[in-house]
Amino acid sequence: MKKLIVNGIWLLTCVLAVSGSAYTKTIVELKSGMRIKTSGFSSSWNIPNRGTCVDAKKDRWRLTACFYDKAFDNAAHAEGFLQYGSLSQENKEMVGEDLPDNALVYVSGNWTYPTHNIEIGDFDVYEADRVLCHDDPPSGPDQGDDCYFSAARYKPTGSSSIATFISTRYLKSGDQSKQILWIREFIRSIKFLPQSH
């Protein structure tokens, strides 16, 4: 009986290991044929006339990453990342600080948020990490609102025009700084591979 239980536990462990590895994919292919390698994602889908998005997770953390076959500036504008200099005076005041005209801000609804520009791996990243946040989200103790948005520009010159955007929710009971570090690790893992033929 003891041997049967041990064998059953071993079999269950093997099944979980196989199903777990099959559940996580690492390469997404865009309609243009461009292939993008990431640290892993669970599902992907296409947005007509825009690009391909993936969902990634670690424990209870989740993020959505979208890759667009467009020049960064055009795609960023469509995703709500605008240059500070293009804002109305009212929206500039909403940012709460004076920024250079070419600095990116994130616009959501009637609100405008500053971004932090940092380098992560091969990317210049513009993070808006305090967007539409609520201390007591109505959807449950472990859920939150989309509070983090970032736009990542690929730095190497002569590279393909791929724009990357990340969004996620903060967990009410989680450590947001650790969650942001995980998001940055995901961005750092992104690599553009040769097109398939």
Provide the mean pLDDT of the chain: 80
Q: Which of 42-51, 80-89, 113-122 has the lowest mean pLDDT?
A: 42-51
Number of helices and strands (H, E) in the chain? 4, 13
Q: What is the pLDDT of residue 141?
A: 47
Would you state the pLDDT for residue 108?
86
Give the pLDDT score at 117. 95
**Range 12-24 average pLDDT:** 42
Compute the average pLDDT of residues 40-58. Answer: 88
The per-residue pLDDT for 59 is 85
The answer to whether 171 and 144 have CB atoms below 8 angstroms apart is yes
Residue 11's pLDDT band, with cuts at 50, 70 and 90, is: very low
The pLDDT of 128-148, averaged and rounded, is 64
Q: Which fold has domain 24-193?
A: Protein Transport Mog1p; Chain A (3.40.1000)
Q: Tell me the domain boundaries of the chain.
A: 24-193
Lowest-pLDDT range of 22-36, 43-57, 120-134: 22-36
DSSP per-residue letters across 95-125:
H-S---TT-EEEEETTEEEE-EEEEETTEEE
Question: Which residue reads 């243009």 in tokens?
Answer: 32
Closest CA to 165 of 194, 129, 125, 132: 125
Separation between Cα atoms, residue 146 and residue 64, nearest integer Å: 10
CA distance from start to end of the chain: 55
Give the Cα separation of 60 and 42 in Å (integer).
13
Higher pLDDT, 187 or 61: 187
pLDDT at residue 38 is higher than 50: yes
Let me know: does 34 contact 162? Beta carbons within 8 Å. yes
